[in-house]
Amino acid sequence: MFKLGQEITSDQAMRFSIETAKLGRGFVSPNPLVGCVIVDSQHKFLASGAHLRFGGEHAEINALKNLKDKSKLNGARVYVTLEPCAHEGKTGSCAKALSKYPIKEVYYGLKDPNPLVAGQGLEILIKNGIDTYPFGKYEEECEEVCEQFLYHIAHQKPFISMKVGTSLDGKIALASGESQWITGEEARKHSRNLRAHYDATLIGAGTFMFDDPLLDFRGTGYEHEKKNKVIILDPKGKAASSFKDSKINKKHGPKNVFVLTRSEFSEAWAQNLVHVINWDSSKDSWNQALKNLYNKGIASVFVEGGSYVFGQLLEHQLVQKIYMYQAPKVLGAGKSWSDFLKLESLSEAKVFKKWKTIPLGEDRLNILYF
């Protein structure tokens, strides 16, 4: 955190705006995460702000509010992760708000792909005498911080990440089905926190019936701040009869549960008063189901198993990112997270664009991007 009047570089300003944007994780969907830093004409820190809640003020407005002495904006520079918005929605236009002050320059990480903005925010600034420049250097980091927004705006369906807790040899359970716990407590708490960064959590019927999970945010800062939505993939309708007494029903209630199932099992699930979406295992059906979820307000999905769900999503190339929590254990014969992914040749192997590894206690978190 920088103090008022502290001199900072342009690199520091943009990096801090990226970190500041993350303060809104889990609360701004379907809007993007955005951070903003304002410095004076001598490049001394004035204020920062983030978009913290959907329907609340945007990052630029919060940064302006956090600056008590507006006279310091004469010749100021603004660093923002995403182009200031042009449109008037739940809040006013950030570009118009910035244009009210004698700001000299605005540096932005990314142009906003939203058709309601798409360069129009920059036009407003330029027409009001404010110079605008793409920052360039941290474009990849800016893309990562608002990856969910960039994807769903472009595709009109949810951004999908998979979470896998596995041994070194890729097992998520013993042959008996025993799986609690392969990874340690630090990794499990990290994944619960990560779960809260998404609009909904997806599990298969097997995971629902065998584990009876809570899928909550206990032990994190989101525990009393946010409700989780749950999606259950149930191809054979076998979980409908056990839903009433499940932890998911008791914790989240049917209005927050969405079920993807074949049409012949829709009625059985509908009796539980959940949202039922017809589905089969084809790619077209998956795409339609995902669009239906998107139209119901789900712009991002965190997938937590099991291997049938993983296999389906990988087969149809519907996953954008994988979080693989890997424990330093070898389980031998057992159930692999990729058991249901069937390939005919090595040329069909799923290849990641990039990956990085983070230590988590005794475990490791591999973050892989398609």
The contacts of residue 352 (CB under 8 Å, 6+ apart) are: 322, 368, 369, 370
Place of tokens 């997938």: 303
Q: What tokens does 250 get?
A: 């008791």
Contact 181, 188 (CB under 8 A): yes
Out of 7, 19, 60, 141, pick the active-site residue.
60
Verify whether residue 60 is a known catalytic residue.
yes
Q: Compute the distance between CA of residue 256 and CA of residue 270 in angstroms, rounded to an integer.
A: 13
Helices (H), 72-172: 94-99, 120-127, 139-145, 147-155
Contact 2, 46 (CB under 8 A): no
Write 353-357 long-range contacts (CB < 8 A, 24+).
none
3-state secondary structure of 38: strand
- Angstrom distances, CA of residue 187 to CA of 22, 184, 297, 332: 20, 6, 29, 22
Q: Compute the distance between CA of residue 320 and CA of residue 138 in angstroms, rounded to an integer.
A: 20
Contact 236, 205 (CB under 8 A): yes
Catalytic positions are: 60
